[in-house]
Amino acid sequence: MANIMTTLGVLADTHIPDRVTQLNPRVLEIFKQAEVNAILHAGDVSIPRVLDELGQVAPVHAVQGNRDIFYLRQLPLRIELTFEGVTLGMAHGHGTFSRYMVDKIQRAIQGRLVESYLTRMLQTFPDVSVIVFGHLHVPCNFLLDGKLIFNPGSTGYPWPRNAPGTVGLLYLEQGKAPQGEIITLG
């Protein structure tokens, strides 16, 4: 019997309408074309309409980001999900309010501190194969300590600001190493 592969659409930091007015239509096109089995939103959704739009393509799993405190406070801060025997952990990455404020001050002084976010994610999810997070607005897709570290970047408000928006796809198959792909929206 052949293994079944699950394809997940992954996005974060949509920031609608606080940074951009609508979801880039390429997001839905890419997820439909990939025939995703589910969609993961790693926070900073901002308004529920975004999750409704995504839900027209596939079931959506989302976590709360620092910008989701008004309309989407009911979202969990972190979740663990299993697909095809592969367990993944997802959190936005901002941590508690006090941690978020300390990070903001450090970022103002020292610039983006990617390493501190990675350390926090590894500590938050010690027993998963894949870690999905947002908050940085910078895509990443690499192995660290035997885990796939995956940040899809931001669909409409990337860092640096002149960079194109991005989304991601995760390919999970039982007994195989998880694979990630970052797609530029253009």
> 14's torsion region: left (phi>0), alpha (psi -120 to 50) or beta?
alpha
Give the residue among 181, 167, 177, 174 at the shortest CA–CA distance from 29.
Answer: 167
The model's pTM is 0.90
- The tens digit of pLDDT for each residue in 1-54 reads 567 899 999 999 999 988 889 999 999 999 999 999 999 999 999 999 999 999
> How far is Cα of residue 174 from the mean position of the Cα atoms in its chain?
22
Strand partners, 38: 8
The string of pLDDT tens digits covering residues 68-83 is 877 778 999 999 999 9
Q: What is the domain-level CATH number for residue 21?
A: 3.60.21.10
Phi first, then psi: give them for residue 46, nearest 5 degrees: 85, -50
Domain with 148 in it: 5-184
Structural domains of the chain, count: 1
For the segment 78-106, the average pLDDT, to the nearest whole number, is 79
For residue 139, list its beta bridge partners.
152
